[in-house]
Amino acid sequence: MRHDDDVVTEADVERVIAQLFLDGHQPRKEDRKKVIEVAALLPLLNKGARDRLIVEAAAGHGYVALVGAALLGWTNLWLIDDNPARLERLAAGAAKLGIQPTLQNGDVADLAMWPDQPHTVVALHACGEASDGVIASAVARRARIVMLATCCHARSMQSSKRAAAHADRLGLPVQAELRRRFIETMIDAERLLVLEAAGYEVTAEAFVPATVTPQNLLLRARRADEPVRMKAAAERLARIRAPE
């Protein structure tokens, strides 16, 4: 195991995931995708984060946090997930590393699950409304850094319904693939504006190729608290959310 600031390679991540979760066996196809994603995220997260509080929200098996602990020496970890079985598996992986992260079993939208003022919040593929719950809670707890890779954009979400209504008003073609792309872009644009209106400087980028996962958009947010930018974002957000 490495505890330094060297470049993290996919081979490093694959080895750790195999040791912690696969009983030493080589990753399967779906595991390989996770390897690529984690290897892409860790360098973005590591700067200045080693001893600071890192929250992995909608943590699943805690791949990001535990691989970060193994390869980069992260020690101050807080993980939230609503599935007790996943948390048990996560705890077993942490035990192999000799670390004891704080584990919270509950909804990411529940502020009682969260610490105050974490340095970094990361969520890798928080599904549907969970992404919005992560954003709302991270903002409320005044996280300094938020790294969110969004996932499935459920039709039941209010932001999805608003985006579909915008598509109808604009007269967009009804072809499913074109309409899906528009709606997903609108949903994630709304999320970006929520973060900007709350005081974050945000970039949106593809953190892995679409061949790895079509859900490859990463919102990278850093708290800046710039009033002019916040006001402008709030105005744009209001226009997106305003009924026709």
| Span 58-76, pLDDT tens digits | 999 899 999 999 999 998 9
Dihedral over Cα of 138, 142, 143, 144: its sign: positive
102 occurs within a structural domain: yes
Yes or no: say if 196 and 181 are a contact pair by the CB < 8 Å rule. Answer: no
181 occurs within a structural domain: no
* pLDDT the model gives residue 116: 96
Strands 145-150 and 200-206, by their bridges, are: unpaired
**Number of domains forming the structure of the chain:** 1
177 occurs within a structural domain: no
Instruction: Return the axis-axis angle of helices 176-197 and 129-140, rounded to nearest 10°.
Output: 10
Closest C-alpha to 2, from 44, 46, 36, 37? 46
Backbone angles phi, psi at 140, to 5 degrees: -65, -35
Strands 102-105 and 77-81, by their bridges, are: parallel
Which residue range forms the structural domain that includes residue 140?
Answer: 10-153+200-223
For residue 143, what is the domain's CATH number? 3.40.50.150
**Which residues lie across from 205 on neighbouring strands?**
218
CA distance 166 to 243: 9
Residue type, 105: N
180 occurs within a structural domain: no
Yes or no: say if 75 and 87 are a contact pair by the CB < 8 Å rule. Answer: no
61 occurs within a structural domain: yes
* pLDDT the model gives residue 206: 95
Residue matched to tokens 């000799």: 98
**Which residues lie across from 149 on neighbouring strands?**
124, 218
83 occurs within a structural domain: yes
Dihedral over Cα of 17, 23, 27, 31: its sign: negative
* pLDDT the model gives residue 2: 55
* pLDDT the model gives residue 244: 57
Closest C-alpha to 57, from 104, 101, 90? 104
Q: What does each C-alpha distance from 110 to 30, 47, 57, 190 come to in angstroms?
A: 30, 28, 11, 21
- Give per-residue burial for 111-120: e unless 16+ CB within 10 Å, then b: eebbeeebbb
* pLDDT the model gives residue 160: 82
Yes or no: say if 128 and 155 are a contact pair by the CB < 8 Å rule. Answer: no
75 occurs within a structural domain: yes
* pLDDT the model gives residue 93: 92
Q: Which regions in the chain score pLDDT beneath 70?
A: 1-6, 24, 47-49, 154, 243-244
186 occurs within a structural domain: no
* pLDDT the model gives residue 47: 66
